[in-house]
Structure 1
Amino acid sequence: MKFTLAEKPRYWWPVTVRAPDPENPGKVIEQTLRVLFEPRDQDEERAEQDRVAKITDPAEQLREDRASLAAVIKGWDDVIDTEKSSVAFTAENIALALKQPWFRAAVWEAYYESMSGQEARLGN
């Protein structure tokens, strides 16, 4: 396959979220979804990391960290609500999901993994 040069590449990537199991105290469950990423280029990513790191207020830094991640997420698939209905990708829904620390950690991990040039690890 030939290399495709795109100014704003987009790609789907698997994400495995390890969340607390509501039925079994002290256990975790793995939940999977796919995320559509539009990554920042290397210079933009470094500048964004530096910008967020310079924020001294912890609450503001956390908000900006979530906003930074939300900016590279352009869609999702395989997300359902507690009634097993599909959840649309919206700014409000991604903001809600990113407030869950296990979701945010899993998506950050998948994002950096996707930019490493390695295939996704089984179980992420």
Structure 2
Amino acid sequence: MKFAITDVYLFWWPVTVRMPDPEKAGKIVEQSFEAQFEALNEDQAHEIDAAFRNLESEEERRGHQHDVLRRVTKDWRGVLGADDKDQPFTADAFDLCLKQGWFRAGMYEAYRQAMAAEEQGDGPTAKN
């Protein structure tokens, strides 16, 4: 695959959420889905960091502490709602998930891996 220059680069990446098993005390269960991320360039990342640093109160910072995830996450697939049907990606659904520490940890780790170009999965590695 040849390198292509683009203003906006969107890609799908696997996300693994490790959380307490609801059935087995003291055990962890892994749940997976895919998120569509937008790669931020260096200027965009610095802009988000600067905006956060300029917030004046702790309350404002709490309200904006996960803005980077809100900015880079564009969609998801493989996420089920309470009715066991596909849950469409919406800002409200995403914010509800962000309230869980294990969800945030999985999302931050997935984005970090993607931006560090750490390939995932057991499939063949592309070396073009």
Aligned equivalent of 2:74: 74
Structure 1, unpaired ranges of 5+? none
CA drift of 1:56 comes to: 6.0
Match of 2:117 in 1: 117
35-44 or 6-15, larger mean C-alpha shift = 35-44
TM normalised by structure 1 equals: 0.86
> Per the alignment, in what secondary structure is the counterpart of residue 65 of structure 2?
helix
By how many angstroms is 1:39 displaced?
Answer: 2.2
Q: Give 1:39's aligned residue.
A: 39
Identity score, percent: 35
1:102 equivalent in alignment to 2:97: no
1:54 offset after TM fit, Å?
5.3
Distance 1:20 1:116, change over 3 A: same
Superposition RMSD in Å: 1.9
Please list every run of 5 or more consecutive structure 2 residues that lacks an aligned counterpart in the other structure: 123-128
Flag the 1:20–1:54 CA change in 2: closer, same or farther, 3 A: farther
- TM-score between the two structures when normalised by the length of structure 2: 0.84
Residues 56 and 40 (structure 1), Cα distance of their counterparts in 2 relative to 1, 3 Å cut = same
Distance 1:26 1:75, change over 3 A: same
Distance apart, 1:40 and its partner CA: 1.6
Distance across 1 between alignment mates of 2:64 and 2:120 = 26
State the structure with more CA Rg. 2
- Measured after TM superposition, the shift of residue 81 of structure 1 is 2.1
Matched, 1:17 2:17: yes
Q: Distance in 1 between matches of 2:31 and 2:57?
A: 32
Q: Note the alpha carbon deviations across 1:1-22, whole angstroms, 9 max, x for none.
A: 1101110000000000001111
Give the drift of 1:55: 4.3
Query: How far does the alpha carbon of each residue in 1:71-123 deviate from its partner, in whole angstroms, 9 at most, with x for none?
Result: 1111000000233111010111111111111101110111111111221267x
Rate the CA distance shift 1:14–1:49 in 2: closer, same or farther, 3 A. Answer: same
Amino acid at match of 1:69: L
Q: CA separation of 1:26/1:58 partners in 2, compared to 1, >3 Å: closer, same or farther?
A: farther
